Every structure is written in structure tokens, then in C-alpha cells.
Amino acid sequence: MASKLEQLRSMTTVVADTGDIEAVARLKPVDCTTNPTIVLKALGTPVFADRVKEAVTWGKSQNGSSEAVIAAVADRLAISVGAALAELVPGRVSTEVDADLSFDTEASITKARGIIAAYKERGIERDRILIKLASTWEGIKAAEVLQTEGIDCNLTLLFSKAQAIACADAKAFLISPFVGRILDWYKKSTGQDYTSETDPGVISVRQIYNYYKANGISTIVMGASFRNAGEIEALAGCDRLTISPALLDELDKAEGTLERKLSPDNITEDPFQPIDEKTFRWMLNEDAMATEKLSEGIRAFGKDLVALRDMVKKELAAA
């Protein structure tokens, strides 16, 4: 019998949530997703030593070590990680707009255009890239503009149906609801343990998937941030799932039948709900989990962005 990973591939597009080149080459996902944490970790490995050296040399040629140069070198390194992954996967690579732009629509649009241009300079066209934006109101509005320009977006740090509805209204290409982080919040809040079927993160993604399919919404649902293989199995059939190498390996070794849990042929009615800014902000405010995890996620990515720039500053000073 095929492994559970192979069975999953037959019903869901499998994406690797990593910057680990060796793991991607071995596991052969369709797409790859990155974020500042993944980029920072990847750049600390020997695989990217030459790319770090190249970016630092380029930075030195830009007349000094100003904050603007440091940020530009950090951007160049993030693109280097994405470009290396693009060589290995047949599909898309997600690259994130800086976390400190999460509440600035215009700056996010400008940064996204710059990312696409930087990939094009390396011969990688926009149809191979997804721009990742935090699912703030400002990030969603940036995605709305970018989508009209043919720049496909991945709305990340998504924890609530309100965010999912707004992303659908913006015609975002893809959303990444965070399963494991939702579970983390509820375990800490209630002190309870959850099964795969009662997992609040799993339930959230199932509700969003049902809403999208019930209303003919084309935005792709890609579950993310998994804590265990049970969560993944409970979402078998979801459009896409982005999974860490450790859990991909676990599924590859797992035997038994994998039951399809989500299907567009098994949907319940869920009326369409248009959403404006006031409604979005109120619904998000009323969801303590989503409010806290969104803010926490932006802070965490912002911290790793600072760490990446600090690393660049040290490398420039030593060069």
C-alpha cells in the first residue's frame, strides 16, 4: 500500500514549509513556502555560504553600510533562498513582504513589486512566485491591488473566518490558515487536550474551506503551521497543505489508509458574507485568539527580520 504521504498527494497539493534545500530535493514537493524565520535559518547553513558572500560583496559595492544598504542586502538574501528553492520545485515559491510593513498598504505594494522585479532579474517569472502578506486589513488591501497587476498573493498569519472572507473579497490567489498556532492558543487558554477531530485549528480550516466551496470562491485554501501528523490527516483533501520536512518524513513512513476529509462534493450551505473594513476590524477584535495570534506572528516575523539585518550588518562590517 502507498504511504500516507503518497495517498495525500493524490487528493491535496503538498507544499514544503522549509528553506532546507536537501529536504526539498529529497521530498519533492510541488511548492515551497518561506518566511523570515525560515530564511534566517537557511542562511545559517553551509548550502548558502556562497550566496551570503555574493550578497555582502554586492552590498559593499553600494557605497557603505547604511540602513538602506543593509535592508537591500537582506532582501537580496531572501530572494537568493527563494531562487534556490525555485530551481527544485515545479510550482511556486512564497516570499514574504517585510513584517514591519504589515500595516502599510502602499509600502507593501511597493515592496512586492520590488520582489517580483528581483526574481525577474534572476530569470524567474512572476508565475513562479507568491507574495506573502500578513492578513491584516492593510495586507489584504495590498493583495487586492497586486492581484489586479497579475502578482499572485499568499495571505498568511490567518486565524479567523473574518480574515478569510476579506481575502476572498480581495480575490487573493491563496490563503494560509495557521492550524497549529490556533491549537496552541486554545490549549493554553483552556488547559485541555484535543483530538484531531476536535482540534480548533482543524475545525477553523474546515469551516473556511466549506465557505469558499459553498460560494464558488476560487481562492486556494492551504493549511499551514501543523503540530502533528494527525492535524494533516484531518485536513486530507484540502486544496493545499504546507508541511515541515519532519512531518513529511513521518507521513512518508506511515502506513494504512488515509481517509479524505475535505471534498468540494461534500459541502454544506454557508451564505456569502461581504465584509467592509469596520466589520472586519470588529469581527477580528471580538476573536481574542485571532487578534492575539496575528499580533504575535507579526512580532515574531519582525524579530527575525531584525535578526537577519543584524547578521547582514556584521557581515558587511567584517568584509
Q: Give the active site residue among 4, 132, 261, 293.
A: 132
* Span 155-205, pLDDT tens digits: 999 999 999 999 999 999 999 999 999 999 999 999 999 999 999 999 999
Q: Residue ranges of the domains in the chain? A: 4-318
The pLDDT of residue 319: 81
Which residues of the chain fall short of a pLDDT of 70?
64-65
Residue 84's nearest CA partner among 47, 116, 53, 114 is 47
Beta-carbon contacts of residue 152 (< 8 Å; ≥ 6 apart): 92, 126, 127, 129, 130, 131, 146, 173, 174
Residues forming beta bridges with residue 68, ordered by sequence position:
none
The pLDDT of residue 62: 86
Active site annotation includes 132: yes
* Span 242-253, pLDDT tens digits: 999 999 999 999
Type of residue found at 16: A
d(CA 80, CA 90): 17
Tell the CATH superfamily of the 4-318 domain. Aldolase class I (3.20.20.70)
Residue 301's nearest CA partner among 69, 135, 72, 188 is 135
The pLDDT of residue 82: 95
